[in-house]
Every structure is written in C-alpha cells, then in structure tokens.
C-alpha cells in the first residue's frame, strides 16, 4: 500500500502512523521528522529549514521534493509507505505523481484527517516528544507514566519549538491556504478518503484494513 496522510497540524497523522506501519509493515516517511533530524545535525539543509519551521511556514518545494526523491528510492519503501506531511502544496503533489510514474508505482489512497481547530490547538499545546526515539505523548490525552520521561526508552521528553500557540495559529493558516487545496486535487483523482480524526489514536486501522483488502499494488 502507498498512502498519503493529509491533514492539519495536530490531527494525529504521526500518532496513527505508528499503528498502521506496525500492522502493515509500511515505511513511515514524515517530512517533518526528516527536517527535524537535519536541524539537529546542523546540516546545510537543516540550517535552511529551521527559519521556516520555527515561523510555521513551509520549507521551499525544491528542498522537499529532492528529499522525497532520495527517500522513496530506499529499500524499505519497496513494500509500501505512508507519506506523512507530504505533499503539502500542489507543485509537491505534481512532482510526486511524476516520480511515482517514473517508478511504475501508483498511490493506493489519500487519507484526509478532519478535526476542529480548537481540538488541534489543544493537542499541539500539550504534545511532548521523546528526544531519543521520537515517541509522541500528550500531557492531557496520553501522558507518560513518569512526568517528562519516555515510557518506551527512558529518554527525556521535549516540547517542539513550533508548538507555541502563535506558531500553531500560523501553521493552521498556512495549512488552509497552501495545503487544503490538495483535498480537491485528490478528490478529482478519485483517491481521497475522509477520516474523522477526533476518535481513538488507533482508529484509522479499520479504514486502512478496508483499503488493504482492495489494494492491487
Ligand atoms: P510536521 O512535522 O509535518 O508537522 P505538522 O503537519 O504540522 O503535523 P504535526 O506533526 O504537528 O501533527 P500530527 O498530525 O502528526 O499530530 P501528532 O500525531 O503528533 O511539519 C513541521 C514543519 O516542517 C512544517 O511546519 C514545515 O515548516 C516543515 N515541513 C514538513 N513537511 C513539509 C513539506 N512537505 N513541505 C514544506 N514544509 C514542510 O499528534 C499531536 C498531539 O495530539 C500529540 O500530543 C498526540 O499525542 C495527540 N493525539 C494525536 N491523536 C490523538 C487522538 N486520537 N486522541 C488524543 N490525542 C491525540
């Protein structure tokens, strides 16, 4: 299966991906995670990306498309993948279509996560992430057993730089202006499936099971 998780910040794309990738053995490709790793390593790409990310703006398309081209060529993508946070603009979607065509592949579905703004802000303000393994927690909805310590690896939890309320509001604005047009784009392609993201953190598995039954890839 080759899936796109499309949805606003805080909708739970990363959280649901954990359950789906475990069930179906898919590669989980989060452009946000790749960029944060580059920022942490202080690479040239990371230095370019940081200013955009801290302001809640999108990193330029050419940077992102180059990153994805490289990543989709890696071995773990052969069995299928989840694209989480990519594409985010129409030019990124067009570049992805060309790339998949050149690889003789097609998308199974684009899952559109729907959630109200107030819920997104609440989820993002309470998000904590493990500095070591990237596990995602929430101080209200999914707290760790021991405050600020990762249940999975014992690493320290941190708050993302872009999870401040002013930056969150900007990310939501950017999503509506630049990414939401992809909903219509993929609807026209007949690939869009809507998902109510207000349910449990593993509630997407049922929809993905239905898609897996129909997938002929
Ligand atoms: P990115 O990392 O992709 O951030 P995002 O899209 O804003 O999404 P988030 O990671 O914030 O949210 P999520 O939907 O994964 O939610 P999560 O599962 O963590 O991008 C960051 C930045 O990188 C961008 O702003 C941009 O600058 C740049 N970038 C990345 N990709 C790019 C691209 N393609 N082009 C250009 N620039 C790009 O959940 C959130 C919280 O809610 C957690 O605390 C979680 O525990 C909780 N939660 C989740 N689901 C539930 C549930 N069902 N019930 C209760 N709590 C829940």
Q: Model confidence over 105-147: pLDDT tens digits?
A: 999 999 999 999 999 999 999 999 999 999 999 999 999 999 9
Average pLDDT over residues 3-11: 98
Q: How confident is the model at residue 213 (pLDDT cuts 50, 70, 90)?
A: confident
The CA distance from 167 to 189, in Å, is: 32
| Number of the ligand 1 atom closest to the C-alpha atom of 5 | 14
Q: Is 8 in the pocket of ligand 1 (CB under 6 A)?
A: no
Is residue 90 in a domain?
Answer: yes
Phi then psi for 82, rounded to 5 degrees?
-115, 125
pTM of the model: 0.96
The CATH number for 171's domain is 3.40.50.300
Q: Domain range for residue 33?
A: 2-115+165-216
Q: In the prediction, which pLDDT does 217 show? A: 59
- Point out the least confidently predicted range of 26-30, 131-135, 213-217: 213-217
Cα-to-centroid distance, 28 and ligand 1 (Å): 13
Q: What pLDDT, in 10s, does the model give residues 54-82? A: 999 999 999 999 999 999 999 999 989 99
Residue 50: inside a domain: yes
Number of domains in the chain: 1
In a domain, 150, yes or no: no
Tell how far the Cα of 84 is from the centroid of ligand 1, in angstroms: 8
**69: in domain:** yes
Q: Which atom of ligand 1 is nearest to the CA of 8?
A: 6
């Amino acid at each position: 299966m080759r899936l796109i998780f499309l949805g606003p910040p805080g909708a739970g794309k990363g959280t649901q991906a954990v359950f789906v990738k475990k069930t179906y053995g898919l590669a989980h490709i989060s452009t946000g995670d790749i960029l944060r790793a580059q920022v942490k390593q202080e690479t040239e790409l990371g230095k370019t990306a940081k200013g955009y990310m801290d302001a809640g703006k999108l990193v330029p398309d050419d940077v992102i498309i180059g990153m994805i081209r490289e990543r989709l060529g890696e071995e773990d993508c052969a069995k299928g993948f989840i694209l989480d946070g990519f594409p985010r603009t129409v030019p990124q979607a067009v570049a992805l279509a060309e790339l998949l065509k050149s690889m003789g592949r097609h998308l199974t579905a684009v899952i559109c996560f729907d959630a109200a703004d107030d819920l997104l802000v609440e989820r993002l303000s309470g998000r904590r992430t493990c500095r070591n393994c990237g596990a995602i927690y929430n101080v209200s909805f999914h707290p760790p057993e021991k405050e600020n310590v990762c249940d999975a690896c014992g690493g320290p939890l941190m708050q993302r730089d872009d999870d401040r309320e002013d930056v969150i509001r900007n990310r939501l604005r950017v999503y509506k202006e630049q990414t939401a047009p992809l909903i219509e784009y993929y609807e026209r392609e007949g690939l869009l499936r809507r998902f109510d993201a207000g349910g449990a953190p593993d509630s997407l598995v049922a929809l993905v099971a239905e898609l897996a039954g129909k997938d002929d890839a």
